[in-house]
Amino acid sequence: MTYQELKKLWLSYLAGKGHAIIPSASIVPENDPSTLFTVAGMQPLVPFLLGQKHPAGVRIANIQRCIRTNDIDEVGDDSHCTFFEMMGNWSLGDYFKKEKIAWSFEFLTSPKYLGIPVEKLHVTCFDGKDDNGREIAPRDTECAQFWEAQGVARDRIHFLPKSENWWAMGSGLGPQGPCSEMFFKSECKCDAKCKCNPAKNCGCFTELGNDVYMQYTAKEVGKIEPAKQRNVDTGWGLERILCFVNGYKSVYESEIFAPAIKLLGGDGRHARIIAEHTRAASMIVADGVIPSNTGAGYVLRRLIRRAVRTANANKIDGSIYEKLIKFYNTYLEFDAKTVIEVFTKEVNRFEQTLAKGLKEFEKVKGKLDGATAFHLYETYGFPIELTQEIATERGIKIDMDGFKVAQAEHSKASKAASAEAGAFKGGLADSGVETVRLHTAAHILLATLRKNFGADIIQKGANITPERLRFDFSLNRKLEPDEIEKVEKDVNQIIARKLDVIVKEMPLADARKIGATGTFSDRYGDVVKVYTIGDVSCEICGGPHVSNTKELGHFKIQKEESCGAGIRRIKAVLE
């Protein structure tokens, strides 16, 4: 089955079941400064999963381009990719487990579709418990019964806990619920002691897809409540399925990578990394990102520079990228000319300093101090993750705390200047002083709304132009005129306190530990920026912000209106 055939098969099957086919959304989420990339097909649909009406109806399907960098170190194995396409379908408060399971079964086993022998099909269902054995929701026997009704024998249905069979976005917030994963069982070489199941990673099971039953929602991490609207959220990895149905051992043998591997002179871990990162970076550039030192631009830079370093170490010259990009363009839609231009510029920039930077490493014995790691970053353009990787290869330890101190000092010194020049990249649409001020005002507004109307209020979106701030948040009712006045007054009082706005970079887990909020902040292990405004607000955010609230002026709400079920919109300005 070819790549195009598989895509067509998926979409036509679901169209036949009444689904509207929608295009893939951008890889860079719109109006959501708190998340870098689209990581799942459901992400652009969150407002509709929460109850807003989708213009295409209640049955939706598509193939969504996604980026996940949490497993970047695994790239080079048989299946992990940072860029992948997700075959998805959604029920927005329409059909539920019974229908979805019947369709998944049909698509997997019917000779008209994937044709997997029923006895090779194993499925998982949620056992009701978290990973400490604590009950968090009912055991999903319903799901198991529907599989059984299709003919999946009971001993091929595995009940597993939350870590395996519960799906929520990385933040733990928003629509979520038990899921059911489908697996192909190959000939098993394990001994009896293994008691193989799909959670064991013993190599006997190949994951085919994931159907999530979003019957819960969480406004606070760990506090789930039944959702008003029960949805189905399906996500099947296109690359993996293509590889599986054609009997390939790795995705690099399939038509979407094999010609790239050939261009690189043959299969090997280094060739896989270069091929995969070039593909992912091309798709990020295609959706409008340029390499930079913050946000999505930084991840893009990391991918390109990692590819360049790997190519360089393996004596593959710089002419390879254009050839690879042209090949990917044979099946992925993008403007190849622009992608090649952006790519080449970044490759050249890095190649000029790569050799010099590597020389610095030669001098290091045992431990790389923080100042040197920062020097490599600042002067030679080595993303810190790349420095860590090279250090690991050479058995060198890095003083990461020292690196962070050096970085924080540097960012403090350059902050005022860069805010004034509007010289930041990424994050907001416009880089002017006005938008930076409104962005900080948005954080204060969210904190104020939470203080006045409940800590469960979450940001649903933000859009900032130099003229105004548009801010969407969850609330089930309209704000009264005196409440609007109170919000304005509170925000202005905070502004008048002349609070410092402080930024720190830290791993996502640490940010959560200190209680930083961030809607949809599924960064999956990346380093995030946390902006703190006095004792008022602490948010994960790409920035940029002013250094002190005294720079904001007078906050004025111009309009408060509904923008969908349970969502309000505030339009505000700084005078």
Distance CA 180, CA 167 (A): 10
Distance CA 360, CA 398 (A): 14
Answer yes or no whether residue 33 interacts with ligand SER by CB under 6 A: no
Distance CA 5, CA 88 (A): 16
Question: Is the Cβ of residue 66 or residue 300 nearer to ligand SER in the bound state?
Answer: 66
- Burial class from Cβ neighbours inside 10 Å (0-12, 13-18, 19+) for residue 513 reads exposed
| Selected range binding ligand SER among 37-45, 215-223, 278-286, 436-444, rule: CB under 6 A | 37-45
Strand pairing category for 20-21 and 59-67: parallel
Binding mask 159-198 for ligand SER (x = CB under 6 A): --------x-------------------------------
Answer yes or no whether residue 210 interacts with ligand SER by CB under 6 A: yes
From the CB of 237, what's the least distance to ligand SER, in Å? 8
DSSP-derived letter for residue 439 is H
Residue from 212, 284, 308, 574 in contact with ligand SER (CB under 6 A) = 212
From the CB of 84, what's the least distance to ligand SER, in Å? 10
Question: Is the Cβ of residue 177 or residue 297 nearer to ligand SER in the bound state?
Answer: 177
| Selected range binding ligand SER among 230-238, 408-416, 451-459, 547-555, rule: CB under 6 A | 230-238
How many CB atoms sit inside 10 A of residue 369's CB? 14
| Selected range binding ligand SER among 1-9, 228-236, 345-353, 375-383, rule: CB under 6 A | 228-236
Residues 484-503 that bind ligand SER (CB under 6 A): none
CA 130, 133, 134, 139 dihedral sign is positive
From the CB of 148, what's the least distance to ligand SER, in Å? 23
Residue from 178, 198, 235, 357 in contact with ligand SER (CB under 6 A) = 235
| Selected range binding ligand SER among 36-44, 191-199, 384-392, 563-571, rule: CB under 6 A | 36-44
312 neighbors 382 (Cβ within 8 angstroms): no
259 neighbors 327 (Cβ within 8 angstroms): yes
From the CB of 301, what's the least distance to ligand SER, in Å? 26
From the CB of 88, what's the least distance to ligand SER, in Å? 6
Estimate the share of the chain in helix, then strand, then coil, as percent rounded to the nearest 5.
40, 25, 35
Residue from 9, 14, 40, 494 in contact with ligand SER (CB under 6 A) = 40
Answer yes or no whether residue 60 interacts with ligand SER by CB under 6 A: no
Residues 428-487 that bind ligand SER (CB under 6 A): none
Question: Is the Cβ of residue 170 or residue 357 nearer to ligand SER in the bound state?
Answer: 170
Question: Is the Cβ of residue 51 or residue 357 nearer to ligand SER in the bound state?
Answer: 51
Distance CA 183, CA 201 (A): 12
Residues 295-324 that bind ligand SER (CB under 6 A): none
Distance CA 74, CA 474 (A): 37
H-type alpha helices, 314-399: 320-328, 336-363, 370-378, 384-393
Rounded to the nearest 10 degrees, how much is the dihedral formed by the CA atoms of 29, 33, 35, 36? 70
Question: Is the Cβ of residue 177 or residue 291 nearer to ligand SER in the bound state?
Answer: 177
Answer yes or no whether residue 101 interacts with ligand SER by CB under 6 A: no
| Selected range binding ligand SER among 35-43, 47-55, 311-319, 442-450, rule: CB under 6 A | 35-43
- Enclosing H/E stretch for 236: strand 223-237
Residue from 85, 127, 140, 233 in contact with ligand SER (CB under 6 A) = 233
From the CB of 168, what's the least distance to ligand SER, in Å? 9
Residue from 24, 28, 29, 41 in contact with ligand SER (CB under 6 A) = 41
Residue from 88, 128, 175, 542 in contact with ligand SER (CB under 6 A) = 88
Q: What six digits make up the tokens of 236?
A: 């099947």
Distance CA 208, CA 236 (A): 6
| Selected range binding ligand SER among 55-63, 116-124, 232-240, 359-367, rule: CB under 6 A | 232-240
Q: What six digits make up the tokens of 431?
A: 């880089």
Question: Is the Cβ of residue 62 or residue 548 nearer to ligand SER in the bound state?
Answer: 62
Question: Is the Cβ of residue 104 or residue 532 nearer to ligand SER in the bound state?
Answer: 104
Instruction: For residue 217, give the nearest of 205, 226, 204 by alpha carbon.
Output: 226
Could you tell me how many residues of this chain bind ligand SER (CB under 6 A)? 10
Residue type, 141: T
| Selected range binding ligand SER among 40-48, 109-117, 170-178, 295-303, rule: CB under 6 A | 40-48
Answer yes or no whether residue 42 interacts with ligand SER by CB under 6 A: yes
Distance CA 147, CA 155 (A): 12
Q: Please report, in angstroms and rounded to a whole number, the separation of the first and last CA atoms in the chain.
A: 61
434 neighbors 466 (Cβ within 8 angstroms): yes
Distance CA 277, CA 27 (A): 15
| Selected range binding ligand SER among 69-77, 227-235, 246-254, 339-347, rule: CB under 6 A | 227-235
Residue nearest to ligand SER (CB): 235
Rounded to the nearest 10 degrees, how much is the dihedral formed by the CA atoms of 499, 500, 505, 509? -20
- Report how many helices (DSSP H) and strands (DSSP E) the chain contains, helices first: 17, 18
Strands (E), 30-161: 59-67, 83-92, 121-126, 157-160
Name the residues that contact ligand SER, by CB under 6 A: 40-42, 88, 167, 210, 212, 233-235
